Structure 1
Amino acid sequence: MILKKSKISVVALLSISMLLLSGCYTFRGASLDPNLKTIQIQNFAFQTAGGPANLSLTFNEKIKEYFQRNTSLKMTNSNPDLMFEGAITAFDVEAQAPTANDKGGLNRLTIRIQVKFTNAKDENKNYDQEFSFYQDFPQTQTITAAQGTLIPKILDQIVLDIFNKTAGEW
């Protein structure tokens, strides 16, 4: 008899939870307004000196893939509910942690991306902001040798920061 009551309680609790959540989609701690159906991510321009020629393409693919994988939004090229556009504005390598010989013990690669986000359903959610992240690498290693492992980590973090900024506003 107790087992039947607990099964009924669990079913009732799940039913109530489903009813409460039916008004919105949820993902990774953020709620997506059910009125938002489409997204457009324009190709980000490469507006800086230095860096690999395919950096813009790599970033564009990473951000599109992340939003497709983590939301129910459909990609579109016309009249999107949400739109991203912008440019890669910096690919900087700077010496860090000087050694006794006044040489950098570490080098730091920093990538900066300017992002303009437009929400056609709610202008209060729009933003135009720079996102950046860096990774350090040994001074004994060239940027050409290091960038294969550094760039993916940096871009992954920037995409996550953009997603969190955007999803946190929903």
Structure 2
Amino acid sequence: MTLFSGCYSFRDVSIPPEVKTVRINFIENKARYVNPLLSPQLTDKLRQKVISQTKLTQIQGEDAHYDISGTITDYSVTTTGIADRQVASNRLNITVQIVFKNRLDEKKNFEASVTRNFDFNASLSLQQAETQLNETILRNLSDEIFNRIFSNW
């Protein structure tokens, strides 16, 4: 019994059977403030997620069926809460611009921005908050990028 005609699925992942390879380029950081660890860690996390949750083979060549690139365009902090006339909480805002190229079906090419916000106590420095939030940031951003590319919703 065939449940899907023309696609194989993993969880909510839908990839046509003719798509076999993917290239995930280094996610560049062009935000005004640069966290030097974010680009390499996010790139690595996304690569791991694609390998573990799809049957796609990662290659470095220009002829990959799917070509994924990205740029961190915003990395900023805003105040989100005030208590007793003092800043009580801050929010780290991160935006990644994703470029997806489908070399087998160019009509499926797209660009999209992924924005995630991460709240932290104002008593923490940005560096302390980055350390505390690092795993959550990487997981949330890589999940959102993955879902934008591979989920059909």
TM (norm. structure 2) is: 0.90
Q: Structure 2: any 5+ residue segments left out of the alignment?
A: none
Name which structure has the greater RCO, CA cutoff 8 Å, separation 6+: 2
Match of 2:82? 98
Partner Cα distance (1:67, 1:52) in 2? 24
Deviation at 1:121, TM superposition (A): 1.3
Q: Determine which of 94, 97, 105 is the counterpart of 1:114.
A: 97
Bigger Rg, structure 1 or 2: 1
The residue correspondences of 1:11-160 to structure 2 (distance < 5 A) are 16=1, 19-21=2-4, 23-78=6-61, 79-101=63-85, 103-160=86-143
Percent same amino acid at aligned positions?
28
SS at match of 1:166: helix
SS at match of 1:121: coil
> Which deviations, in whole Å up to 9, do the C-alpha atoms of 1:91-141 show, x marking residues without a partner?
11111112232x321011111111100111122221111111011111111
Deviation at 1:49, TM superposition (A): 3.0
Cα distance change of structure 1 residues 124 and 156 upon mapping to structure 2, 3 Å threshold: same
SS at match of 2:47: helix
Deviation at 1:20, TM superposition (A): 4.1
1:92 maps to a residue whose letter is: S
Q: Greater helix percent: which structure? A: 1
Deviation at 1:23, TM superposition (A): 4.7
SS at match of 1:164: helix
Q: Greater strand percent: which structure? A: 2
Question: Is residue 76–residue 93 contact of structure 2 (8 Å, CA) maintained in 1?
Answer: yes
CA RMSD after TM alignment: 1.8
2:109 maps to a residue whose letter is: N
> Which deviations, in whole Å up to 9, do the C-alpha atoms of 1:56-88 show, x marking residues without a partner?
101110110110010000001220100111211
Q: How many residues align?
A: 152
Question: Is residue 125–residue 169 contact of structure 1 (8 Å, CA) maintained in 2?
Answer: no
